[in-house]
Amino acid sequence: MAPKKSTIVLNVEQFIHDIEERPAIWNRNFHCNKAFLEQMWDELSGAHKLPSEVYVLDDGAEVDLDLGNYERFLDITLHRDNNITTGKIYKLVIEKERTGEYLGKTVQVVPHITDAIQEWVERVAQTPVQGSSKPQVCIVELGGTIGDIEGMPFVEAFRQFQFRVKRENFCLAHVSLVPLPKATGEPKTKPTQSSVRELRGCGLSPDLIVCRSEKPIGLEVKEKISNFCHVGPDQVICIHDLSSIYHVPLLMEQNGVIEYLNERLQLNIDMSKRTKCLQQWRDLARRTETVRREVTIAIVGKYTKFTDSYASVVKALQHAALAANRKLELVFIESCLLEEETQLSEPSKYHKEWQKLCESDGILVPGGFGSRGMEGKIRACQWARENRKPFLGICLGLQAAVIEFARSKLGLKDANTTEIDPKTANALVIDMPEHHTGQLGGTMRLGKRTTVFAEGPSILRQLYGNPKTVEERHRHRYEVNPKYVPRLEEHGMRFVGTDVDKTRMEIIELSAHPYFVATQYHPEYLSRPLNPSPPFLGLILASVDRLFHYIQRGCRLSPRQLSDASSDEEDSVVGLAGATKSLRILKIPNTPKTTKNGISNGCNGSSSTSEGEGACGGVDITNGHQ
């Protein structure tokens, strides 16, 4: 008789700890492979700790990606109260109960929690998000899946809310998936019918049903959903997978959503102006289809296995690439694989990652926390600096660039950040005064802060339009040590932006480089599809040899630059850049240096690269060595 099988659920971390503490007992009772358990633990912990991007608002609120998408698409400024969570609602109700506002009544989900949700929505809906005028329409996303227990108080709150604000002020759009099994190739409407049935059972009847599908669904399927879900055929909106997300608003317009909402909510929109208002968006969507020339940007990060960690960075690069009429090709490089240890342990992966980095047109080093992969980021900064490759560093990317420069140019081989080495003798990056070691919660510098530009030439200041100050959003806990700033500037690193007190370094640039820029703030948070972020636009333009002409025209793209067709003028520019690169490899003494895009930045003479071994472990060809 076969033995019965049992399933044992254990705490793998504790299991490994017990093996180390009491090896005799475990070895006697179990045949255990400790290495296998450790690998299992790494995979399990990694699968549940995938870092998702934290989006930061002007007031310093840390929210999820959805609010960031709303800000980008609607070009508005949201606030912390626009993010409604269960924790916030329960905290509000508990505080009211503690102050006696419920007069000793028993606090319940209905009506106290549901009333708090409705009052929150009514209050926030009056807050301006664009200028000083109150919004005319408030979009509320009721997330999750209908039927989930954690979302039921919100469903009940909005069931009551529709009667509180009257029918003409309330419109419900239900988003549902219409799967298309490959075995049959026929769209299945059962999931939509089931979810609408459950939604109506909760007291909410959808006015619009937005059907998401892989491919367009026909009129027959729309009529079927209409019949079984108690809506008209014109109220079933089909949104299939498109080549670009920027086509979605245009597809919704074609399905008559604007006309329906105008009538349903009595908005009194002048429909004659609609075409003019959406023209810029149409041009943007058309450009995504017609653009042919590519630009390759390498993102050297530590969370590259989960690309949503850099969602805002990717969006900002897309905005800039479309503005420069380029098709963006992204290459994600795991910074750990650029380090010397990988060269010894996994040389194949090491050389593949370095090849991808070398073949890219530009390099971006984004933010992050922790020691893992830091040395790889530092080596990427070194390679970009030595080989005059367009570079943009953000937050940790700025800190890595400063540490690399100090090691290579100032000779401080032990230069580091106190985040990684608290006892380093040369702490180029230190924790902020507000940061309390061991207490991470609420100690970061968050939200919009003012950056003051220093006197003197600055590429980034020109890209912003030559203002005295700019306001950008921050999210960091460490910053450049100000006592090393004079020595860094003596060797060519310019701190062109600081905070208002001139104690925090916000922007760095290299004098003898086509585009080596890094910011302590996160410019990706304020990038918009029709208004790309200047640091990202500068990276894209420098990567395609157009930055010089862009600045010369007063930071405006010419019709020739916007054209996707090649021209003799651009070919000549590329030819000059190639000739310049050849001269740079030969390193002719006392020859004025011209960058790849023609900007000299007023710097002549010797190269800013260091002699000897390069960032990727080989020799530095820019110094004439073979």
Enumerate the active-site residues: 395, 522, 524
Instruction: Give the DSSP H or E segment for 585.
Output: helix 568-586
Residue bearing tokens 């892989």? 214
**Dihedrals φ, ψ of 479, to 5°?**
-150, 170
Coil, strand or helix: which one is 448?
strand
Q: Residue 34: CB partners within 8 Å, gap ≥ 6?
A: 16, 19
How far apart, in whole angstroms, are the C-alpha atoms of residue 263 and residue 269?
9
Question: Six-digit token pair at 265?
Answer: 């909510």
**Dihedrals φ, ψ of 330, to 5°?**
-100, 140
Quick one: DSSP state of residue 606?
A: S
Coil, strand or helix: which one is 402?
helix
Positive/negative CA dihedral, 412, 418, 419, 420: positive
| Side chain identity at residue 128, one-letter code | P
Q: Order of strands across the sheet with 427-431?
A: 416-417, 427-431, 478-480
How far apart, in whole angstroms, are the C-alpha atoms of residue 91 and residue 87?
6
| Side chain identity at residue 309, one-letter code | S
How far apart, in whole angstroms, are the C-alpha atoms of residue 261 and residue 271?
12
CA-nearest of 271, 337, 326, 266 to 302 is 337
Residue bearing tokens 């893992």? 372
Question: Six-digit token pair at 282?
Answer: 């149409």
Instruction: Give the DSSP H or E segment for 87.
Output: helix 86-98
Instruction: Give the DSSP H or E segment for 364.
Output: strand 362-365
DSSP assignments along 373-401, one per residue: THHHHHHHHHHHHHTT--EEEETHHHHHH
| Side chain identity at residue 244, one-letter code | S
Within a 10 A sphere around the Cβ of 383, how many other Cβ atoms? 22
| Side chain identity at residue 232, one-letter code | G
Region of 360 on the Ramachandran plot (φ > 0 left; ψ -120 to 50 alpha; else beta): beta
Using CB atoms within 10 A of its CB, is residue 411 exposed (0-12), middle (13-18) or buried (19+)? Answer: exposed
